[in-house]
């Protein structure tokens, strides 16, 4: 519903700005706005079709990993840590399996597997809920873990960069990983503090310290390098990690006697269907954003924020990428459209283009996830879920800006 109002608002605001510009003597304003609708529609279609191959490839590889049991292995590895985050869930309750499967699926970018297991986990937690219309602490912690968007492989973002002609499509891989990790840690700490979960329990504390230490070490290490060395290391490490994951999935699949070719084909078919499904969403948001920019309204908003940032004595290069960050909590497709629009306007390898990609990968769609997951079990009172989710998003945005300046 929020996206509905935003989409309508884009057109109404654009029309009002167009009328004002016309009254001020700009007789070409509506011509530019209409031309923008055609160009944006074409861009949306070609983008979706161009992404088909990348989605087919990666969803095929992910299907091999899913059938090979990689998700189950990750679930078992995460079990000691995550069980401490949900003290209100009885030991060995079946819901823990669904939670682990959901988190592991999200980390691997398996959206098709993550959503069903997430809805199942919510239904199982609802069985333990004594107030059926009110969110419980485990539900909120689970939702925040989802909204913080921890993903090891940002497949779609890397695909968009590749099809838009990025010199090194993988160069945002490590920055995205760092930003999304910061968002997840922030979400866990905020929610744990709100729920009075003891984060100093040995397993939980060591896990958090280990993650924070790893992120800090990576950022410190890259901070010691000059730009050329950093770009070289990022390029080598990112591509090596991605290629290693592909080979690992295939090897584990062979070892588990999975027909890896058939599994790949099954996943690749999902990739093709996904590419086709996103065409209407991309057309809708890219046309709306294109009209907003052509009318001058978006530039006015960005210029206002830039002026405030300048008055604070800060660098303003990040400002043009902020629309993606603003949209991400509301709509993944909307943020994706703004990311693509930024890459088209400023260049795929520009600072703004890269930062938009990092924003897109640093968090997830908080409002959408809360609506779907809580709506599926009839929760009306979400308590502190939204506040914790949005604060985690804020941490991810700040981290994205920081790592982008470090890397680029």
* Number of domains into which the chain is organized: 1
Q: Which domain holds residue 82?
A: 1-407
Residues 6+ apart with CB under 8 A from 116: none
Give the model's pLDDT for residue 350: 92
Q: Is the pLDDT of residue 243 over 70?
A: yes
Give the model's pLDDT for residue 332: 67
Residues 6+ apart with CB under 8 A from 347: 353
Residue labelled with tokens 């930003």: 179
pLDDT tens digits, one per residue of 172-214 = 888 888 888 888 889 999 999 998 888 888 888 888 888 778 7
pLDDT tens digits, one per residue of 272-308 = 776 777 678 778 777 887 788 788 887 788 788 888 8
To the nearest whole percent, how much of the chain has pLDDT over 70?
A: 85
The partner residues of 381 in beta bridges, in order of sequence, read 134
Give CA 192 to chain center in angstroms.
22
């Amino acid at each position: 519903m929020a996206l509905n109002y935003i989409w309508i608002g884009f057109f109404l605001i654009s029309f009002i700005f167009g009328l004002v510009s016309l009254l001020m003597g700009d007789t070409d304003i509506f011509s530019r706005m209409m031309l923008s609708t055609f160009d944006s529609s074409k861009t949306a279609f070609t983008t979706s079709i161009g992404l088909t191959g990348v989605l087919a490839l990666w969803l095929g590889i992910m299907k091999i990993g899913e059938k090979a049991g990689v998700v189950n292995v990750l679930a078992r590895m995460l079990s000691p840590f995550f069980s401490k985050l949900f003290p209100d869930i009885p030991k060995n309750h079946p819901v823990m399996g669904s939670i682990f499967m959901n988190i592991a699926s999200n980390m691997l970018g398996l959206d098709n597997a993550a959503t069903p297991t997430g809805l199942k986990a919510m239904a199982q937690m609802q069985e333990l809920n004594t107030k059926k219309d009110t969110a419980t602490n485990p539900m909120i912690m689970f939702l925040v873990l989802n909204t913080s968007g921890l993903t090891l492989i940002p497949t779609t973002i890397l695909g968009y960069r590749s099809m838009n002609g990025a010199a090194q499509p993988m160069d945002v891989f490590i920055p995205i990983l760092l930003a999304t990790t910061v968002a997840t840690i922030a979400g866990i700490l905020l929610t744990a503090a709100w729920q009075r979960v003891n984060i100093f329990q040995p397993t939980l504390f060591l896990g958090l310290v280990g993650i924070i230490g790893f992120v800090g070490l990576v950022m410190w290490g890259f901070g010691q390098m000059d730009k050329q060395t950093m770009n070289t290391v990022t390029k080598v490490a990112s591509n090596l990690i991605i290629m290693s994951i592909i080979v690992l999935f295939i090897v584990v699949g062979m070892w588990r006697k999975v027909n890896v070719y058939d599994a790949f084909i099954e996943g690749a078919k999902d990739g093709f269907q996904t590419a086709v499904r996103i065409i209407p969403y991309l057309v809708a948001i890219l046309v709306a954003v294109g009209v907003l920019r052509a009318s001058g309204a978006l530039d006015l908003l960005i210029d206002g924020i830039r002026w405030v940032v300048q008055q604070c004595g800060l660098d303003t290069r990040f400002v043009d990428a902020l629309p993606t960050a603003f949209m991400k909590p509301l709509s993944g497709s909307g943020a994706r459209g703004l990311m693509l629009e930024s890459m088209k306007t400023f260049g795929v390898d520009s600072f703004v283009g890269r930062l938009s990609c990092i924003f897109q990968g640093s968090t997830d769609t908080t409002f959408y996830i809360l609506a779907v997951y809580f709506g599926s079990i009839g929760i009306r009172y979400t308590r502190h879920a939204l506040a914790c989710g949005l604060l985690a998003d804020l941490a991810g945005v700040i981290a994205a800006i920081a790592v982008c300046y470090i890397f680029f």
